Amino acid sequence: PEVLADFHQQMGDCATCHVSKSGPTDDNLTHENQQCVSCHGSLDDMAAQDATKKLKVSPHKSHLIGDIACTSCHKGHEKSVAYCDACHSFGFDMPFGGKWERKFVPIDVNKEAQDKAMAAGPRDTTDVVIVGSGGAGLAAAVSAHENGAKVILLEKEPLAGGNTKLAAGGMNAAETKFQAKLGIKDKVSIMIDDTMKGGRNINDPALVKVLAEDSSDSIDWLTSLGADMSDVGRMGGASVNRSHRPTGGAGVGAHVAQVLYTAAVKSGADMRFNSRVVRVLEDASGNVTGVLVEGKYTGYYVIKAKAVIMATGGFAKNNERVAKYDPALKGFAATNHPGATGDGLDVALAAGADTRDLKYIQAHPTWSPVGGVMVTEAVRGNGAILVNREGDRFVNEITTRDKASAAILQQTGASAFLVFDDSVRKSLKKIDNYIHLGIVNEGKTIQDLATQLNMPAAELEKTIVAYNGFVKSGKDSQFERPNLPRELATAPYYAIEVKPAVHHSMGGVKIDTQAEVLNKDGKTIKGLFAAGEATGGVHGANRLGGNAISDIVTFGRIAGASAAKFVKAN
Ligand code: FAD
Ligand code: MEZ
């Protein structure tokens, strides 16, 4: 047999997997997945039964959130693909497997089928449609429900979480109870200043004010939903420690996304995967009337709704689009999930939305070319230094990303090494994941590490001794690094090769402080809202590390409340 369906047909007919001969009844493949589980057990059962123990990382026990459908990777009538291969290359021995590939499909293909679906009228009706299951969409779903609205949430990928599930370093917030507990003195006004300065002062000041003023409340809201945001660290461009994450420095995104996903499921949101929104529908006066959905298995159909929230994220994974706005990034790898292609932006544009700052696209300085994963800024925040092939530091490691990326690209081989000791490793749980992924060199001594990296050992030793001197004196007289958390003096020593990769699209749809989408005349499009990386204005020309999770929770929440209020009033 070529594919799983052939194999299963030997055991019975189509009814082994499907309810009827005409195929799947919904785009989540709910019945089909129940059939998988009824024979094979759940993902947890499967992981527990992995008799081979050959896999270092089980796909069934990773940072993926929610109940991952078996069919996200194991296909019926096509070759199975390991979804994780979009970022990693684990070389899974996938039965009936094929190569993971993603082609960008424009929103306006199959015009005839789209027109037919629109002529047929709505298949479903709800109060608020949310497009995208990342943090902004999930926060909006919870908040819309809190404000009395019925929600359908549509996600084009087979699983939830978008880029949010990958977020690592933290969520910025000022004047929080967790900062107070740790004796950190911060002010909303300092967060505003840092954000505006990092964004080269082209941010929308009204949006930045909301971001900073609501940030502490957003932490409290997440905590009330069950999140642990008690660890507070430093990100580039911040004047004080304000990046909140789970205890011990575990990754923030998968945790926040899981908490919001659980709350959204509990709120009764109707979540549909493999469901791409290709059009926002409007009446003759320009009021939103719903969306046109492309269901992967059920085809095009219309959902009627008075309010639509675009929470479709950015486009950093679509290098063609990235290079169109910033040719210097042509051919760069990306840190993003495979769905960050920007078709949500096309949908908003077609609905008349105005955009801003699209040419500002951020490269994250520390992406591992060995593992294909981003190495969190928190590693530097907790004390790692950046060293070139000659064994020297060359930049303030926690400067803003644009500056750190530019500095790395100027080094021999256009890459550098993050170097740290065991005390840094112990300070941040996330580092154990990198060790687990096999992207970290480990040396018993500095000399041993330098030998592995093909680096002059005496120079690396000199660099680390000098850096430790700066830590002791509290002043980095070489690069003016503002935070010097700990000496690098505890063996073993570690290094990760890193280089910049496309990370965040700062620009997007124009919104006001109520997350209402603005058209080219600066007027609101009635019933259309947007939040998160799909929008522009919050981050200006350069986003600060930790400000995106803050953005999506705060503005996702605002969008949900605004949309629910709009539905009630109209
Ligand atoms: P996403 O989470 O990307 O969700 C958007 C969703 O919309 C996706 O699932 C997508 O598939 C879906 N979608 C798109 N178009 C359509 C359509 N037409 N129809 C249906 N669905 C659609 N920020 C921080 O502040 N702190 C961090 O520590 C941090 N770490 C990061 C680490 C990594 C590796 C990455 C990639 C980003 C990180 N960021 C971090 C940035 C942050 O994670 C993102 O900016 C943020 O999560 C975006 O959230 P969102 O909800 O706007 O979009
Ligand atoms: O905000 C981010 O993108 C971030 C903090 C990423 C990271 O390095 O962890």
Nearest to 503 by CA among 310, 312, 258, 316: 316
**How far is residue 456's CA from residue 461's CA, in Å, rounded to a whole number?**
9
Q: Can you tell me the distance from the alpha carbon of 137 to that of 134, in angstroms, rounded to the nearest whole number?
A: 5
Task: State yes or no: cis peptide before 106, omega within 30 of 0.
Answer: no
From residue 256, how far is each of 163, 321, 544 by CA, in Å? 12, 29, 19
28 and 81 both lie in a single domain: yes
Q: How far is the CA of 499 from the centre of ligand 2 (A)?
A: 15
The sign of the dihedral angle between the CA atoms of 286, 288, 294, 298 is negative
Complex ipTM value: 0.99
> Which ligand 1 atom is at minimum distance from the Cα of 547?
25
Which of 69, 86, 103 is the C-terminal boundary of a domain?
A: 86
| 143 and 266 assigned to the same domain | yes
Q: What is the pLDDT of residue 51?
A: 59
Q: Is residue 296 located within the same domain as residue 208?
A: no
Q: Whose CA is nearest to atom 45 of ligand 1?
A: 548
Q: Which of 145, 126, 128, 142 is nearest to 529 (CA)?
A: 128
Say yes or no: 369 and 481 in one domain.
Answer: yes
Q: Does residue 102 carry a catalytic annotation?
A: no
Between the CA of 300 and the centroid of ligand 2 the distance, in Å, is 37
Q: Which of 116, 137, 88, 79 is nearest to 269 (CA)?
A: 137
Residue 99 lies inside a defined structural domain of this protein: no
User: Is the shortest distance between the CB of 517 and ligand 1 below 6 Å?
Assistant: no
Task: Assign residue 563 the CATH number of its domain.
Answer: 3.50.50.60
The predicted structure's pLDDT at residue 56: 45
pLDDT score at 547: 98
What is the domain range of residue 174? 170-253
Q: Does the beta carbon of 560 sit less than 6 angstroms from any atom of ligand 1?
A: no
Active-site pick, 276, 279, 393, 401: 401
| Ligand 1 in reach of 154 Cβ (< 6 A) | yes
Same domain as 498, residue 407? yes
Q: How many domains does the chain have?
A: 4
What is the atom index within ligand 2 of the atom nearest the CA of 544? 1
In order along its 570 residues, the chain shows pLDDT tens digits of: 789 888 887 777 888 889 887 789 899 999 999 999 998 888 777 767 765 555 444 555 568 888 889 999 888 899 998 888 888 877 667 788 888 888 889 999 999 999 999 999 999 999 999 999 999 999 999 999 999 999 999 999 999 999 999 999 999 999 999 999 999 999 999 999 999 999 999 999 999 999 999 999 999 999 999 999 999 999 989 999 999 999 998 889 999 999 999 999 999 999 999 999 999 999 999 999 999 999 999 999 999 999 999 999 999 999 999 999 999 999 999 999 999 999 999 999 999 999 999 999 999 999 999 988 999 999 999 999 999 999 999 999 999 888 999 999 999 999 999 999 999 999 998 899 899 888 999 999 999 999 999 999 999 999 999 999 999 999 999 999 999 999 999 999 999 999 999 999 999 999 999 999 999 999 999 999 999 999 999 999 999 999 999 999 999 999 999 999 999 999
**Which residues are bridge partners to 536 per DSSP?**
510
Centre of ligand 1 from the C-alpha of residue 477, in Å = 38
Secondary element (H or E) of residue 128: strand 128-131
DSSP string of 393-411, one letter each residue: B-S-TTS-HHHHHHHHHTS
Residue 295 inside a domain? The answer is yes
Residues 322 and 462 in one domain: no
Q: Does 97 fall in a domain?
A: no
The side-by-side arrangement of strands in the sheet containing 128-131 is 270-272, 151-154, 128-131, 307-310, 524-530, 516-518
Residue 376 CA: which ligand is closest? 2
pLDDT value at residue 50: 63
Position in ligand 2 atom list of the atom nearest CA 547:
1
